[in-house]
Structure 1
């Protein structure tokens, strides 16, 4: 007999089990999403996906999207935390990323783009925080070039997007997620959404993400943007040191 206990419909707790993606966004696991993945893979624009996918996990708190994205990238880039996680193992988890900000504060308030950049730096990353300016002529071209560069490299560099969910037609507002790939022919990016309880990984137009990253963060009065990150030293050099 199955041990799972089924609840009567009137006893199911309030809340939500995921949300449907807006029509313009394409779930990675859908037939269309898998086709895009195959096409991008053959074009050589999915190299960054695999190290990130190995570390893909769901954020442990509703306000931990920034920390979870950072931890996912730190582990994907093979950054040694130089301190123990469990037993004899050195590994990053959300509760180890609070070198510049208390987790209790982040749990209540979330984290800004610049604060997340500082947290990355004090955990062994070289971080370039780029706030989006819709009026900058080279802005979206630079972002597209960064996405292409990262997507063509199997390791050593990553991008974390800070964007407004509302501009994507999703519920909520400020959010962070790593960028997992690029489909150049259709100018689509793959977002590895760390809030997997809410939305699955999905493809979306690069220009739409750009506009969502230009949305103002109410806590700072500045636009959102993205982080271009790489380790202070390569994983191989760290192992030999």
Structure 2
């Protein structure tokens, strides 16, 4: 029996239950709607995210299985551990969000285009100004030049639930440093996982695994129920060990 793809109404912010997502393509739940902040917040609160290419309709996803990194399983190999100890990088939080998302959209390693289209960048910048989207920035520092942004990541946070969207690097290990810094930050409020949405080789190397949608929804809800200090996401420099 064929499934019918759910069409969102721009006047209605509701989504269908995630259990109705297609198995092929994996996780496609609905099309249409818009990227207004409240719809995005509703989506991420349910573990749903938008992902579409230029000239495609707006598509919403809830894949099964789901990729996450349990922070206790974050893989820091010997080479990265040495780099962390010797690093001249500076790590900051939420100081240049719009620059990070623009660089993620145009990351040098992307050879298949990007889903981070201008309308997506604008929408997530709006979420950032509302306190729901955040960036980690990695800066190369030396005694002569101004610090240079060489890596980073961004994602959406609903209380203790952080859903990573994308990352970039232009210098060795910079995106890994961003991920380690995010993990250390989230540990300070006893958050124990990062949502990675879909598995790829980089995330797998860093310790990501796949879990069922059912388990993910339970993990996600526990994280959303966790209270976060009011100043937790304020822009600042982050320590990294």
Q: TM-score, with normalisation over the residues of structure 1?
A: 0.26
Higher RCO (Cα < 8 Å, 6 or more apart): 1
